[in-house]
């Protein structure tokens, strides 16, 4: 059986006893996730959204939670110190141990030494079973969950979250306190997609399978959900989710937080406005110049 068939078959079984075949298949599957050989969603030119959900991959992740036992894990952290001298050799290393508890099937991810991935000290965590490409920079404290895919040259900034199965492209900047939502269930639901070279501003939130197109810029404080209408002042249209088609922010769009007036009923009487994101422009030379400044941090 190929890997997909193994996962599908084991996931469909009902039972509480798990033999070696479960764990062998899951470890093979998790290695493929870690190496980026399988993804929860991937580009698909035949799909209206440009992306295809791989439901069997989500089943594999859920299988790992089913197999896992909650265990105590210890992380030993040695302080940076000068090379030992004859006077200091053999002394106390001063290592600090951090305790945490999680399913034993999803420990912290081991990062390859040859990929130039930076994880700056200060409380960040990357869960096993996600793909982190070369030259990714992680600023503390941040968190990347299982099933996520973070492509080359991206920066995940302080207090940012990349949720389960979220897909982040090349040379993106996920700014401080940004929340990139993920989704494991329902199995067929599209996770959040951030395409190449997008800039996700600070304190933003992207949820419910929203797709942020290549090169788009979300200004600080912008919130996008599956049911959020986005008013495009440049093209005089409204972008929204329709049926199975997710909300998609066009390539190169610059989105800022805005508001619109309630036009009827008690809301109108009270002068209430509702939050709405607004596309005020598309990327130009001035925007690109501002975005280039981000590269100095990498």
The string of pLDDT tens digits covering residues 82-98 is 555 544 445 555 667 77
* 182 within 8 A of 164, measured Cβ to Cβ: yes
DSSP H or E segment with residue 89:
none
Indicate the average pLDDT of the chain.
Answer: 91
128 with 58, same domain? Answer: no
- Length of the chain in terms of residues written: 298
Q: Is the pLDDT of residue 293 over 80?
A: no
Domain count, the chain: 2
Same domain, 116 and 220: yes
Q: What is the pLDDT of residues 126-175, one digit of tens each?
A: 999 999 999 999 999 999 999 999 999 999 999 999 999 999 999 999 99
Find out whether 153 and 136 touch, Cβ atoms under 8 Å.
yes
Percent of the chain with pLDDT over 70: 89
Extended strands (E) in 139-189? 143-144, 149-150, 155-156, 161-162, 167-168, 173-174, 179-180
Give the per-residue pLDDT at 81: 55
Based on the fold, state whether residues 271 and 185 are members of the same structural domain: yes
**Where are the alpha helices (H) located in the chain, listed in sequence order?**
3-12, 20-34, 55-67, 265-270, 285-292
Closest by Cα among 96, 136, 95, 147 to 112: 136
> Six-digit token pair at 41?
């969603």
| 57 and 124 belong to one structural domain | no
Asked whether residue 163 falls in the same domain as residue 291, the answer is yes
Phi, psi of 33 (to 5 degrees): -65, -45
Tell me if 86 is assigned to some domain. Answer: no
Check whether residue 133 and residue 240 sit in a common domain: yes
Q: Do residue 32 and residue 153 come from a single domain?
A: no
pTM of the model: 0.90
Q: Which domain holds residue 127?
A: 109-297
Which domain CATH number covers 193?
Answer: 2.160.10.10
Question: Would you state the structure tokens that stand for residue 117, as one six-digit string?
Answer: 């991935």
């Amino acid at each position: 059986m190929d890997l997909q068939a193994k996962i599908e078959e084991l996931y469909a079984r009902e039972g509480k006893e798990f033999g070696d075949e479960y764990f062998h298949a899951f470890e093979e599957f998790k290695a493929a996730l870690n190496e980026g050989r399988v993804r929860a969603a991937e580009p698909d030119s035949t799909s209206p959204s440009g992306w295809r959900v791989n439901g069997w991959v989500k089943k594999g992740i859920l299988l790992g939670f089913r197999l896992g036992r909650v265990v105590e894990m210890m992380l030993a952290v040695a302080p940076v110190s000068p090379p030992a001298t004859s006077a200091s050799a053999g002394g106390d290393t001063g290592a600090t141990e951090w305790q945490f508890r999680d399913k034993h099937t999803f420990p912290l991810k081991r990062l390859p030494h040859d990929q130039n991935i930076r994880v700056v000290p200060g409380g960040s965590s990357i869960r096993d079973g996600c793909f982190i490409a070369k030259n990714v920079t992680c600023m503390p404290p941040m968190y990347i969950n299982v099933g996520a895919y973070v492509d080359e040259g991206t920066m995940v900034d302080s207090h940012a979250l990349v949720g389960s199965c979220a897909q982040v492209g090349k040379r993106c900047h996920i700014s401080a306190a940004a929340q990139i939502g993920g989704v494991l269930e329902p199995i067929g639901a599209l996770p959040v997609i951030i395409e190449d070279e997008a800039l996700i501003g600070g304190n933003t939130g992207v949820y419910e399978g929203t797709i942020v197109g290549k090169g788009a810029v979300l200004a600080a404080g912008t919130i996008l959900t599956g049911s959020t209408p986005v008013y495009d002042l440049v093209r005089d249209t409204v972008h929204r989710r329709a049926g199975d088609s997710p909300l998609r922010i066009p390539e190169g769009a610059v989105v800022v937080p805005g508001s619109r007036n309630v036009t009827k009923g008690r809301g109108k009487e009270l002068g209430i406005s509702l939050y709405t994101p607004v596309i005020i422009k598309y990327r130009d030379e001035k925007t690109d110049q501002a975005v280039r400044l981000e590269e100095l941090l990498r």
